[in-house]
């Protein structure tokens, strides 16, 4: 598995080896020893799986308490996956980065605790599968406004096509008003 540190501290892109032929492919999506040695010495306590239709935008979510690290992949379809540093003491506070995750590139994104996460579905349908380091705690969940100009996120939406948002995500707050992490 190839592990690449990205432009923000502790955020990594993981590229598993894919063995393919005319019949299909095989890929090992998780290697505990590689992850612990090259990324982070964490334990995952839950696997999650979501399915969304095209132009659905989920996020940008984080937990103010019970912070979660997430290892995210897209086993079906294509998504534009985004992380935002919400740690006030970080030199990259408020900065974002994005990566395409798909069933053809098999890339994974490690999002450490202290980052907001969201994604936009680019294909007709997409599944997102992710491991987390802590359970979901609804009382500590926060939603950062997906289109806050202060974040500078360029979502790859076609002109004139609004994203499909949940009421919670539509009501996200701008970076200037969030309860950021220390």
Catalytic residues: 61, 130
The rounded Cα 148 to chain-centroid distance in angstroms is: 17
DSSP strands (E only) in 12-114: 12-15, 18-21, 24-27, 46-53, 57-63, 70-76, 78-85, 96-102, 108-111
For strands 125-132 and 70-76, give the pairing: antiparallel
Strand partners, 160: none
Look up residue 175 and give its two tokens: 């970076």
Q: How far apart are CA 4 and CA 105, in angstroms?
A: 15
- Give the span between the Cα atoms of 1 and 168, in whole angstroms: 36
In which element (H, E) is residue 3 found? strand 2-5
């Amino acid at each position: 598995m190839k592990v690449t540190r990205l432009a923000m501290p502790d955020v990594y892109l993981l590229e598993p080896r894919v063995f393919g032929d005319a019949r299909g492919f095989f890929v090992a999506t998780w290697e505990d020893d590689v992850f612990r040695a090259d990324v982070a010495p964490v334990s995952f306590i839950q696997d999650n799986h979501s399915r969304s239709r095209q132009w659905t935008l989920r996020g940008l979510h984080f937990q103010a308490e019970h912070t979660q690290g997430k290892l995210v992949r897209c086993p079906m379809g294509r998504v534009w996956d985004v992380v935002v540093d919400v740690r006030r003491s970080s030199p990259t506070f408020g900065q974002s980065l994005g990566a395409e995750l798909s069933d053809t590139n098999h890339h994974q994104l490690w999002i450490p605790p202290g980052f907001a996460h969201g994604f936009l579905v680019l294909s007709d349908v997409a599944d997102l599968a992710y491991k987390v380091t802590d359970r979901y705690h609804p009382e500590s969940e926060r939603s950062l406004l997906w289109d806050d100009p202060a974040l500078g996120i360029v979502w790859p939406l076609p002109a004139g096509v609004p994203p499909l948002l949940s009421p919670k995500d539509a009501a996200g707050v701008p970076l200037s008003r969030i309860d950021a992490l220390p």
